[in-house]
Structure 1
Amino acid sequence: MVDYIDGRKESAMSLLEKSVNINSGTMNFSGVRKVADQLMPEFEALGFDVWFEDGAAFNRAGHLIARIEGGKGPKMLLIGHLDTVFEPGSPFQTFTRVDDKQIKGPGVADMKGGNIIMLEALRALYSAGKLSSMNIMVVMTGDEELSGRPLALSKKALIDGAKWADISLGFENGDGNPATANVSRRGSVDWVLTVKGTPAHSSQVFKPTVGAGAIYEASRILTRFYDKLRSEQLLTFNPGRIMGGTEVTHDKLNNSGSTFGKNNVVAEHAIVTGDIRAVSQEQLVRVQHKMTAIVQQNLPQTSAVIEFGEGYPPLSPKPGNHELLGIYSKVSQDLGQGSVTAVNPLNAGAADVSFTSEYVKMALDGLGMSGSGGHTVNETALVSALPAQAKRAAILMSRLSER
Structure 2
Amino acid sequence: MLTLFLPLLLAASPAAADPAPRLSSAEARMAATVDAEYERSVTLLERLVNQNSGTMNLPGVTKVGAMMAEELRGLGFNVTWKPLPQTGRAGHIIATHGGAPGTRRLLLIGHLDTVFEADSPFQRFVRKGEEASGPGAGDDKGGMVVMLSALRAMQAAGTLRNANIEIVLTGDEEDSGDPIAVARADLIAAGKRADVALDFEGLAIEEGRDMGSIARRSVNDWTLTITGKSGHSSRIFSEAFGDGAANEIARIVAAFRTELPEANLTFNVGLLASGVTAAIDASGSKASAQGKSNIIPAQAVASGDFRTLSEDQTQRVRTKMTAIVARHAPGTDASISFKSGYPAMAPTAGNQALLARLNVVNRDLGLPTMPPLDPLKRGAGDISWVAADVDGLVGLGTASRGDHTPDEVVDLSTIRRQAKRAAILMSRLSAEKR
Q: Scaled by the length of structure 1, what TM-score is found?
A: 0.97
- Distance across 1 between alignment mates of 2:363 and 2:413: 17
Residue of structure 2 equivalent to 1:185: 216
- Runs of 5+ in structure 2 lacking a partner? 1-29
Per the TM alignment, residue 207 of structure 1 is displaced from its structure 2 partner at its CA by: 2.1
| Post-superposition CA distance 1:128-175 (Å, at most 9, x none) | 112121111000000000110111011111101101111110000043
Does 2:142 align with 1:117? no
Residue of structure 2 equivalent to 1:325: 355
Residue of structure 2 equivalent to 1:211: 242
- Distance across 2 between alignment mates of 1:383 and 1:294: 49
Residue of structure 2 equivalent to 1:8: 37
- Distance across 1 between alignment mates of 2:122 and 2:294: 48
Q: Give 3-state SS (helix, strand or coil) of 2:89's partner.
A: coil
Q: Is 1:58–1:148's contact at 8 Å kept on the other side of the alignment?
A: yes
- Distance across 2 between alignment mates of 1:174 and 1:350: 14
Letter in 2 for 1:270: A
Larger mean CA deviation between 246-255 and 312-321 belongs to: 246-255
- Runs of 5+ in structure 1 lacking a partner? none
Match of 2:179 among 146, 150, 164: 150
Letter in 2 for 1:89: D
Q: Is 1:176–1:372's contact at 8 Å kept on the other side of the alignment?
A: no
Identity of aligned residues (%): 44
- Distance across 2 between alignment mates of 1:242 and 1:39: 42
Residue of structure 2 equivalent to 1:17: 46
Does 2:291 align with 1:261? yes
Residue of structure 2 equivalent to 1:78: 108
- Distance across 2 between alignment mates of 1:239 and 1:397: 41
Residue of structure 2 equivalent to 1:196: 227
Residue of structure 2 equivalent to 1:30: 59
Q: Give 3-state SS (helix, strand or coil) of 1:258's partner.
A: strand
- Distance across 2 between alignment mates of 1:288 and 1:102: 43
Q: Is 1:353–1:365's contact at 8 Å kept on the other side of the alignment?
A: yes
Q: Give 3-state SS (helix, strand or coil) of 2:71's partner.
A: helix
| Post-superposition CA distance 1:228-274 (Å, at most 9, x none) | 112x1010001111100101132140511221112221110000111
Letter in 2 for 1:267: P
Does 2:131 align with 1:107? no
Letter in 1 for 2:247: Y
Per the TM alignment, residue 402 of structure 1 is displaced from its structure 2 partner at its CA by: 2.9
| Post-superposition CA distance 1:252-309 (Å, at most 9, x none) | 4051122111222111000011100001100011000000000000101101111111
Q: Give 3-state SS (helix, strand or coil) of 2:258's partner.
A: helix
Q: Is 1:176–1:369's contact at 8 Å kept on the other side of the alignment?
A: no
| Post-superposition CA distance 1:206-245 (Å, at most 9, x none) | 2222111111110111111111112x10100011111001
Q: Give 3-state SS (helix, strand or coil) of 1:84's partner.
A: coil
Alignment of 1:3-402 (within 5 A): 3-71=32-100, 72-98=102-128, 100-176=129-205, 179-230=210-261, 232-253=262-283, 255-360=285-390, 362-402=391-431
* Backbone CA RMSD of aligned residues: 1.1
Per the TM alignment, residue 176 of structure 1 is displaced from its structure 2 partner at its CA by: 4.8
Letter in 2 for 1:220: R
- Distance across 2 between alignment mates of 1:351 and 1:181: 15
Residue of structure 1 equivalent to 2:3: none
- Distance across 1 between alignment mates of 2:154 and 2:79: 18
Per the TM alignment, residue 4 of structure 1 is displaced from its structure 2 partner at its CA by: 1.1
Q: Scaled by the length of structure 2, what TM-score is found?
A: 0.90
Change (3 A) 1:254 1:90: farther
- Distance across 2 between alignment mates of 1:166 and 1:35: 28
- Distance across 2 between alignment mates of 1:395 and 1:337: 13
Letter in 2 for 1:59: G
Larger mean CA deviation between 247-256 and 283-292 belongs to: 247-256
Q: How many residues align?
A: 400
Q: Give 3-state SS (helix, strand or coil) of 2:136's partner.
A: coil
- Distance across 2 between alignment mates of 1:225 and 1:65: 42
